[in-house]
Chain A
Amino acid sequence: MALLKRLARQNLPPVAFSLNGVSCTGRAGDTVLTAVLTQTDRLRSSDFSGESRAGFCQMGACQDCWILTAEGDRIRACSTPLRPGMRLRTIAEPKS
């Protein structure tokens, strides 16, 4: 279930991307964080206890919102603009 709720910008041009292999649509001007968290409620698992995390500061400081691309790159979701065709994966790291 989506974490974020869109209140505005609903009619902007759609931007297609995929999340964990599923086709999704964001909006022009979305960050990756917005695009993902309007679809689901998590971005990654924490490094040690494996708790769900979904960002915190949204200004590039807390480093809580890292997510993977299908190519294996780590990107900071809150400061990365959504681009058409992005293939994103929420991070599910093994619990220690």
Chain B
Amino acid sequence: MSTALRPLIVGAGPAGIRAAQVMVTAGLRPIVVDEAPSAGGQIYRQRLFPDERSPRDLYGSEAGKASALHQAFVQIRDKIDYFPESLVWNIRDNVADIMKDGRHIRQGFSHLILATGATDRVVPFKGWTTPGVFTLGGAQIALKSQGCAIGEEVVFLGSGPLLYLVAWQYMKAGARVAAVLDTAPFLAKLHLARGLPSQPGVVFRGFRYAAELMARGVSVRFGVEPTRIEGQDRVSAVVWRENGRERRLACDAIGYGFALRSETQLADLAGCRFVFDERDRAWRPDRDPAGRTSVSGIYIAGDGAGIAGADAAELAGERAALALVEDAGLTFDHARVADLERRLNAIRRFRGVLEAAFPFPAAWAGSIEDDVQLCRCEEISVGQVRRAAHDQGVRELNRLKALTRVGMGRCQGRMCSSAAAEVLAAASGQPVEAVGRLRAQPPVKPLPLAMASDGEAA
């Protein structure tokens, strides 16, 4: 056991768990900090209390992967220092500030793996803050973790693989799916044929979900442009345009989103260099193929390093930890490294296919009505952002935040920053990369003022 090495892993999802496993095999004892009460991340989230449902009920075709990952964690549990329900809220100079059980811990580390995952990417439109509208990920969590549908008549809206998966999971669980409204045109789905050689299972599963939804009479629409959500204190209908015609459907809940956006705040606070990712239309930490960031001793893996999904996250977590082991001068499996990189590259290529099949509606940014709320914390409208661009010459996101408070609220831009970047870029006539990204601020999430201090931890 190398006592001088004190690796820290942030996040116990697919990437974090596989990274911890590699370190344990190498004789290290990592600290694993995770916000959730049990390991698995969002995709393989575990229930708080056992119930009547089987892993197959919960995770569908991914049940084997979920169980394997949970089992892997059980096997290393005694060989790591695990802090569940704990938040890393700042990182600087090889020290992480952690809130655990309402107390503050300053935790030093020799190496750091950030496996912070992602949240849904959303684009505001009229009524998106109405109770009953949840992200697609949120709708899925309600079902998997809590056994609840988000309403009686649920519409799924947006684009991305999650759109069909969650709708299908709701139907299977006995919820009423009123419609699946895909913002991408039907023809975009033909791009998936290009993914058949490398990822046939994923492509066929996707088609199966859509086919089974339609076979059960669920209306699946393509080329949808949502106009508004009706209902004052509760969703009562969704209205959209399709082929130039306006359509309206009564419903009481909406699952909404466009793929995911990376959680990158901690990488920013740790001083990692960022690059613009054309495919994600977002700035993300720069990394080499193994997951090394620009800061020595800091690695990044999973969706927090750019969106690639759960399978890639497991591989990338393992790959980053092998890089850490190598950099620490310990022995590691060279053949395994080559295999991981080959499989990661295949998935990353497939991501391009998915982006073509489920394109992000970047053109909307110019046409959202001025009175639509953009920042749901500070309640700043799209029009206020445009006026800042037009009247005050704002061309950069942090300047926009200073002048309008967009991204200054409790979520610190997690829900609005990608849309704010698109709206500001359109209003100022720049490509989206030119408006930059919001600088992260500690604490990265709200902390109780009553938090007690434990001082330094070994």
Contact = CB atoms under 8 A, between A and B. Distances in A.
Are chains A and B native binding partners rather than an unrelated pairing?
A: yes
Nearest to A37: B148
B174 A7 contact: yes
A70 interface: no
Interface of A: 1, 3-12, 27-31, 34, 38, 41-42, 46-49, 51-64, 66, 73-74, 76, 78-79, 81
B148 A63 contact: no
Given A34-B142, A81-B48, A63 B131 contact: no
B415 A41 contact: no
B409 interface: yes
B414 A7 contact: no
B175 interface: yes
Nearest to B148: A4
A58 B141 contact: yes
Contacts, number: 149
B149 A4 contact: yes
A50 to B, nearest CB: 10
Most B CB within 10 A of own CB, among A6, A47, A57, A73: A57
Top 10 closest A-B pairs, CB basis?
A: A29-B49, A8-B147, A54-B131, A58-B138, A63-B410, A9-B147, A29-B48, A4-B148, A52-B233, A61-B119
A38 B131 contact: no
5 contacts: A27-B49, A28-B49, A41-B234, A46-B379, A47-B379
A29 B425 CA distance: 44
Contacts of B378: 47-48
B201 interface: no
Q: Could you say which interface size class chain B belongs to? A: 35 or more
B138 A6 contact: no
B175 A7 contact: yes
B115 interface: no
A11 B51 CA distance: 8
A8 B138 contact: no
Given A4-B148, A11-B52, A48 B414 contact: no
Contacts of B53: 8-9
B374 to A, nearest CB: 13
A79 B35 contact: yes
B135 A57 contact: yes
A62 B129 contact: no
B234 A3 contact: yes
Contacts of A1: 234
Nearest to A64: B376
Contact of A59 (B119, B152, B253, B377): B119
Contacts of B253: 3
Nearest to A6: B148
Most A CB within 10 A of own CB, among B141, B147, B377, B414: B147
B52 A41 contact: no
Contacts of B133: 56
A66 to B, nearest CB: 8
B352 interface: no
Interface string B37-70: 1000010000111111100010000000000000
Contact of A29 (B51, B141, B234, B445): B51
A29 B48 CA distance: 5
A62 B414 contact: yes
B233 A58 contact: no
Given A46-B379, A56-B376, A57-B137, A5 B148 contact: yes
B119 A73 contact: no
Given A8-B53, A11-B52, A76-B446, 5 more contacts: A5-B152, A42-B233, A52-B234, A58-B135, A58-B141
B35 A49 contact: no
B219 to A, nearest CB: 20
Given A3-B131, A38-B148, A41-B132, A31 B48 contact: yes
A31 B379 CA distance: 27
Given A5-B151, A9-B147, A53 B129 contact: yes
